[in-house]
Amino acid sequence: MNCKNCNTVLDGKSQFCANCGTAIETSPAQNKIMKDIYANISVVAGVISIFTDLFLTTNTVSLILEILAIAFGVTALLTKQDKNKAWLGIIIGGIGIVWALIL
């Protein structure tokens, strides 16, 4: 990303251009993705854990992903992120753990 005022390459983390001091604007889509990052990770980890349950013979990877899905889901709830995604990740992780214990 470049500064709109002086075209200096920006690092993506700063709020102002280091060269000219212009405030850096982020797009609403960028803000939404970063705002709900824990909820998004929770859902992705949960979905991947279900696929690993289905296609891998070892449950270790699945179990780690399921625990991560639940942990990130709880973190998302505690940091007031998208609660629907957070609960989805928690539920998928929980189903995966029960599924792994049954099989």
How many domains is the chain built from? 2
Do 8 and 43 lie in a common domain? no
44 & 78 share domain: yes
What is the reported pLDDT for 9?
85
Q: What's the chain's Rg over C-alpha atoms? A: 19
Q: What is the pTM of this model?
A: 0.66
Indicate whether 41 and 21 sit together in one domain.
no
Q: Check whether residue 74 and residue 96 sit in a common domain.
A: yes
Residue type, 31: N
CA–CA dist 20, 41 (Å, integer): 35
Structure-block tokens of residue 3: 């500064």
User: Does pLDDT of 27 surpass 70?
Assistant: no
Average pLDDT over residues 48-72: 86
One domain for residues 22 and 1: yes
The string of pLDDT tens digits covering residues 61-92 is 888 889 999 999 999 999 888 899 999 999 99
User: Which is nearest to 45 in space by CA: 7, 91, 93?
Assistant: 93
Range of the domain at 13: 1-27
Judge if 4 and 46 occupy the same domain.
no
